[in-house]
Structure 1
Amino acid sequence: MMNVEIYTRDGCGYCTRAKKLLDVRAPGYTEYNATVEPKYREEMMTRSGGTTFPQVFVGAVHVGGCDDLYALDRDGKLKTLLETGALA
């Protein structure tokens, strides 16, 4: 299973939704909460180019946000990404 990282902030419904899916598909993911540690917002923006929460990474692949994560899961690609670190 690939390393999974998610950048979140408190009060974000999309973050909560993304974490629910990751709880099922990739338990043991690493969460970086920018509310608790503000430096994570800048780190997230540098890594992803995105400014919205959440931002999800699987291995070296930037998945994107919550909707992107769910789209990969719907298409059956999230499982492959978690297993191989690559999108088919």
Structure 2
Amino acid sequence: MMTQPAITIYTTPTCPFCVRAKALLNQKGVSFDEINVAADPQLRDDMMQRANGRRSVPQIFIGDVHVGGSDDLYDLERDGKLDQMLSGEIV
């Protein structure tokens, strides 16, 4: 049986795209670690290093795979790939 990969989402409290991305993950019933980068420049630097320099939030990771932002997450869902990634079937 495949185990769910760790999901990390970097967010800020006032970001509507972050809310939208978390809503989809919640709808999928998966747990995720949320890292608020608003108050801590070091956390944002960590996020940017992981996300190839992208500063915008959210930045979403499924396992070690950088998914991108909210639109990228919804694109995976539309293409039928999100469930496979969340279940660990594809990386």
Q: How high is the TM-score relative to the length of structure 1?
A: 0.90
Unaligned runs of 5+ in 1: none
Q: Name the residue aligned to 1:58.
A: 62
Of 75, 81, 91, which aligns to 1:71? 75
Higher helix residue share: 1
Q: Name the residue aligned to 2:50.
A: 47
Of 35, 38, 53, which aligns to 1:35? 38
The alignment of Structure 1 onto Structure 2 pairs a total of residues equal to 87
Rate the CA distance shift 1:45–1:83 in 2: closer, same or farther, 3 A: same
What is the percent sequence identity of the aligned residues?
43
Q: CA RMSD in A?
A: 1.4
Give the 4+ runs in structure 1 shifted more than 6 A. Answer: none
Spell out, residue by residue over 1:20-79, the C-alpha distance to the aligned partner (whole angstroms, 9 max, x if none): 011122532000001243321101100012111000000011000000000001111000
Q: Larger Cα Rg: Structure 1 or Structure 2?
A: 2
Q: How high is the TM-score relative to the length of structure 2?
A: 0.87
